[in-house]
Structure 1
Amino acid sequence: MAKLRLDWVNEQEGLDISAAMIGQLKELLEMAAEQEGISEGEVSLSFVDDETIQELNKQYRGLDKPTDVLSFAMQEMFDGELEINYDGDYEEEEVEIDAEDEEDGDSDDADDDGSDLLALGDIIISIPTALAQAEEYGHSVEREIGFLFVHGFFHLIGYDHENEEAEKEMFGKQETVLAKAGLTR
């Protein structure tokens, strides 16, 4: 059985993060990891506002504008730097959690603190941008946040869309996971 963990925090106002939404994101994590043959790892997820993601985008990418999702892969690159992936112009574990823990965003399992898991990285999603994109693209907020989360996860494990071929591969993999979870357009 895969041992995956999703830690999350809601650092913004405007959208309450429900237990159902977190459950769906954990399911997406399991599906994407299984599809890619990943049996263990930890992903940290932060929900932020546009101002926070704009500051991170400026600090790490030199772009003084908000974006929808940033991914900070924890795997070291050849030059010793951490890879930072992003997207701003696109749409869009043994995963066990106690109901009490869901309320405060802490997903520690009482039997295992998960400290021995490989940290895959951090995904940061701007909720205001996700809400606007869901409306713009005419699909649900759940679909948009799911898309951004899966997109961020694929960046964490090394996928990118620097050219047409790589984009087609990455987006195809994402859509497979989202379709399996019933998050279609």
Structure 2
Amino acid sequence: MSIMIDFIDETNELTAEDLERLEKLLFFAANKEAVEENSELSVTFVTNDRIQQINREYRDKDRPTDVISFAMEELGEGEIPLVGGDMPRVLGDIIISLAKAREQADEYGHSFIRELGFLAVHGFLHLLGYDHETVEDEKKMFSRQKDILDEFGLQR
């Protein structure tokens, strides 16, 4: 499986090993979800202040959150899809607060990398159209997340 992932660590806190593990996890998830070769996405790691600003600007929620996804394939009113024979599939952007990931890892009693992996897969599945707006959708999405993380080796 070959997808293109652009990692941006605005905090400069992650190690090369952390990024490599997340890359392998997202490749694994992409394979499980049968994502087309050469699809693209970005994952940006930010502070709580930065994710709060993004949350406020785009979701009208003035508080930090753990992960936000911006799916490129979700069309807004009046937008039309871009299609082309050799254009890569651009999935979108995932933004993760490292401070929230650390807080939640402590709260849930598992490792930082497990929480980071959970947030990355959660955001990735949102890019693919999964959601948790209804109880049924939430069960489907969270079950898929758990299956991917468990099979990859990032169990709770």
- Residue 20 (str. 1) matches residue 17 (str. 2): yes
1:80 positional shift: 4.3
1:76 positional shift: 3.5
Percentage of identical aligned residues: 48
Q: Which residue of 1 aligns with 2:101?
A: 130
Q: Which residue of 2 aligns with 1:107?
A: none
The counterpart of 1:65, out of the listed 63, 66, 79, is 63
Secondary structure in 2 matching 1:28: helix
Instruction: Show CA shifts across 1:112-144 (max 9, x none).
Output: xxx953211000000111100000000000000
Moved runs in structure 1, 4+ residues, more than 4 A? none
Q: Which residue of 1 aligns with 2:83?
A: none
Query: Structure 1 length as normaliser, TM-score?
Result: 0.76
Q: Higher relative contact order by CA 8 Å / sep ≥ 6: 1 or 2?
A: 1
Q: Give the stretch that moved more between structures: 148-157 or 116-125.
A: 116-125
1:172 positional shift: 0.8
| 1:61 partner amino acid | R
Q: Which has the higher helix share?
A: 2
- Residue 181 (str. 1) matches residue 152 (str. 2): yes
- What's the C-alpha RMSD, in Å, of the aligned pairs? 1.6
Q: Which residue of 2 aligns with 1:6?
A: 5
Residues 76-95 of structure 1 correspond to what in structure 2 (within 5 A)? 76-77=74-75, 79-80=77-78
- In structure 2, relative to structure 1, the CA distance for the partners of 1:51 and 1:33 (3 Å cut) is same
Contact kept, 8 Å, 2:36 with 2:89, in 1: the verdict is no
The alignment of Structure 1 onto Structure 2 pairs a total of residues equal to: 149
Task: Name the CA distance, whole Å, in 1 between partners of 2:21 and 2:44.
Answer: 15
Q: Which has the higher strand share?
A: 1
Instruction: Show CA shifts across 1:139-165 (max 9, x none).
Output: 000000000000000000100001111
- Residue 118 (str. 1) matches residue 116 (str. 2): no
Q: Give the stretch that moved more between structures: 37-46 or 122-131.
A: 37-46
Secondary structure in 2 matching 1:3: coil
Task: Name the CA distance, whole Å, in 2 between partners of 1:4 and 1:33.
Answer: 8
- Structure 1 gaps of 5+ residues are 82-114
Query: Structure 2 length as normaliser, TM-score?
Result: 0.90
Residues 136-155 of structure 1 correspond to what in structure 2 (within 5 A)? 136-155=107-126
Secondary structure in 1 matching 2:72: strand
The counterpart of 2:41, out of the listed 43, 56, 61, is 43
Q: Which residue of 1 aligns with 2:82?
A: none
| 1:62 partner amino acid | D
